[in-house]
């Protein structure tokens, strides 16, 4: 019996290093980021750490649904989402395993991450984007629009285009309006915007940019990286588009331009939690922050990282809304009710 035990123990000792050698360290990533330029970001992680990345990309909602269905059996270690409200939703469903990380806590500002609890922090923003107003210079004088509130000005009747407000980018902007002005005032504003529509909401941000350039609409909203992508393009059509537009930094005399994040966290059922945390910490490294800024035209979440993106820099300095992005999650349900009331789908 004793011999048998010893023999089993010996076999186990032999077997473990073999298994470890056979399985290179890996991190399984579910990502809602939809930007081809992220390839270099991931390759650099594998090159520097030896940890392979298995990646599944899908929309935010599809990934959340998949995680719910998979439950404990989920192979996913890290979840990356492209909107603070979605991160908050994942957190409130208990999908994340809060972590403690000296480097992440030192680098990522408190306003760009989940609030700390006794267990740690559920998710961290890794890059920021702003939601700006774009106008067609030949259709209206650009100085007639300077705030989000102006989109509801009756003078813009028949001139405003937006994507569906059911999209997270819009829901989060509306959540910020609720946080700053209250639900009643935000509802009135939304009614005013809907009354000014040039057409029923459709398409994504790039479609709004094109509709403004074509003159179908005079005013629209877009995340900054879609604009910078066009600004960096050599295609004549894209140069033509930018020549017709003026980018307006909203609310510079008030709360500041609406900011959102891409961010991520370690998942509750992660099978590789150490590699997962290492990957998150990597995303806050100077190298990764530069990949995010230069590749997808976002701003680093980590203050003071030097980037080399002249088109992004050309957007100029601006006042960003200091509202903690976690608050966008807090008012998300109210924002969803609001858009139903005013018919902004
Ligand atoms: Fe996007």
**What tens digit of pLDDT does each residue of 69-88 get?**
999 999 999 999 999 989 99
Please give the distance, rounded to the nearest whole angstrom, from the Cα atom of residue 34 to the centre of ligand 1. Answer: 7
Q: Map out the domains of the chain with their CATH numbers.
A: 26-127+261-309 (3.40.190.10), 128-258+320-342 (3.40.190.10)
Average pLDDT for 271-282: 98
Beta-bridge mates of residue 222: 132
Average pLDDT for 231-244: 96
Please give the distance, rounded to the nearest whole angstrom, from the Cα atom of residue 35 to the centre of ligand 1. Answer: 8
Please give the distance, rounded to the nearest whole angstrom, from the Cα atom of residue 222 to the centre of ligand 1. Answer: 9
Please give the distance, rounded to the nearest whole angstrom, from the Cα atom of residue 187 to the centre of ligand 1. Answer: 25
The helix/strand/coil state of 18 is helix
Please give the distance, rounded to the nearest whole angstrom, from the Cα atom of residue 49 to the centre of ligand 1. Answer: 28
Looking at residue 11, what is its pLDDT?
A: 41
Q: Using CA atoms, how far apart are residues 99 and 276, in angstroms rounded to an integer?
A: 10
Give the residue among 90, 95, 94 at the shortest CA–CA distance from 77: 95
Note whether 231 and 222 are within 8 A (CB): no
Averaged pLDDT score across all residues of the chain: 92
Please give the distance, rounded to the nearest whole angstrom, from the Cα atom of residue 204 to the centre of ligand 1. Answer: 8
The helix/strand/coil state of 136 is strand
Query: Residue 4 pLDDT > 60, yes or no?
Result: no
Range in 27-41, 81-95, 278-292 the model is least confident about: 27-41
Q: Using CA atoms, how far apart are residues 143 and 318, in angstroms rounded to an integer?
A: 16
Please give the distance, rounded to the nearest whole angstrom, from the Cα atom of residue 226 to the centre of ligand 1. Answer: 8
Looking at residue 9, what is its pLDDT?
A: 40
What do you get for the CA distance between the two ends of the chain, in Å? 71
Average pLDDT for 7-35: 63
The single residue listed with the structure tokens 């990764």 is 288
- What does residue 167 show for φ and ψ, rounded to 5 degrees? -75, 140
Cβ neighbours for 286, distance < 8 A, ≥ 6 positions apart: 302, 305
Please give the distance, rounded to the nearest whole angstrom, from the Cα atom of residue 156 to the centre of ligand 1. Answer: 26
Q: Using CA atoms, how far apart are residues 60 and 257, in angstroms rounded to an integer?
A: 24
Please give the distance, rounded to the nearest whole angstrom, from the Cα atom of residue 296 to the centre of ligand 1. Answer: 10
Task: Please indicate whether residue 159 or residue 296 has the higher confidence score (pLDDT).
Answer: 159
Task: Please indicate whether residue 2 or residue 115 has the higher confidence score (pLDDT).
Answer: 115
Q: Using CA atoms, how far apart are residues 215 and 135, in angstroms rounded to an integer?
A: 9
Average pLDDT for 151-169: 97
Note whether 325 and 84 are within 8 A (CB): yes
Looking at residue 213, what is its pLDDT?
A: 98
Average pLDDT for 258-283: 98
Please give the distance, rounded to the nearest whole angstrom, from the Cα atom of residue 176 to the centre of ligand 1. Answer: 18
């Amino acid at each position: 019996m004793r011999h048998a035990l010893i023999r089993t123990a010996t076999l186990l000792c032999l077997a473990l290093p073999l298994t470890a050698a056979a399985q290179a360290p890996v991190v399984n990533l579910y990502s809602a980021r939809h930007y081809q330029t992220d390839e270099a970001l991931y390759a650099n992680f594998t090159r520097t750490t030896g940890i392979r990345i298995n990646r599944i990309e899908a929309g935010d909602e599809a990934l959340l649904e998949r995680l719910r269905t998979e439950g404990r059996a989920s192979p996913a270690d890290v979840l990356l989402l492209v909107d603070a409200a979605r991160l908050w939703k994942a957190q409130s469903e208990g999908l994340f395993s809060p972590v403690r990380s000296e480097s992440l806590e030192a680098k990522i500002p408190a306003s760009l991450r989940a609030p700390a609890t006794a267990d740690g922090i559920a998710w961290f923003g890794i890059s920021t984007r702003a939601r700006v107003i774009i106008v067609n210079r030949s259709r209206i004088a650009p100085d007639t629009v300077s705030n989000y509130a102006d989109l509801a000005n009756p003078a813009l009747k028949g001139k405003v285009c937006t994507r569906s407000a059911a999209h997270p980018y819009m829901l989060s902007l509306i959540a910020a309006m609720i946080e700053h002005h209250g639900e009643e005032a935000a509802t009135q504003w939304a009614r005013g915007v809907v009354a000014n529509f040039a057409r029923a909401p459709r398409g994504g941000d790039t479609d709004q940019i094109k509709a403004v350039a074509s003159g179908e609409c005079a005013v629209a909203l877009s995340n900054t990286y879609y604009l910078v992508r066009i600004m960096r393009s050599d295609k004549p059509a894209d140069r033509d588009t930018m020549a017709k537009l003026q980018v307006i930094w909203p609310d510079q005399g008030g709360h500041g331009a609406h900011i959102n994040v891409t961010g991520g966290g370690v998942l509750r059922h992660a099978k590789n939690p150490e590699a997962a945390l290492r990957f998150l910490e990597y995303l806050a490294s100077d190298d990764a922050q530069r990949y995010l800024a230069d590749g997808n035209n976002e701003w680093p979440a980590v203050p003071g990282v030097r980037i080399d993106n002249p088109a992004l820099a050309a957007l100029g300095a601006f006042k960003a809304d200091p509202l903690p992005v976690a608050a966008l999650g807090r008012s998300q349900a109210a924002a969803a009710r609001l858009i139903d009331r005013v018919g902004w789908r």
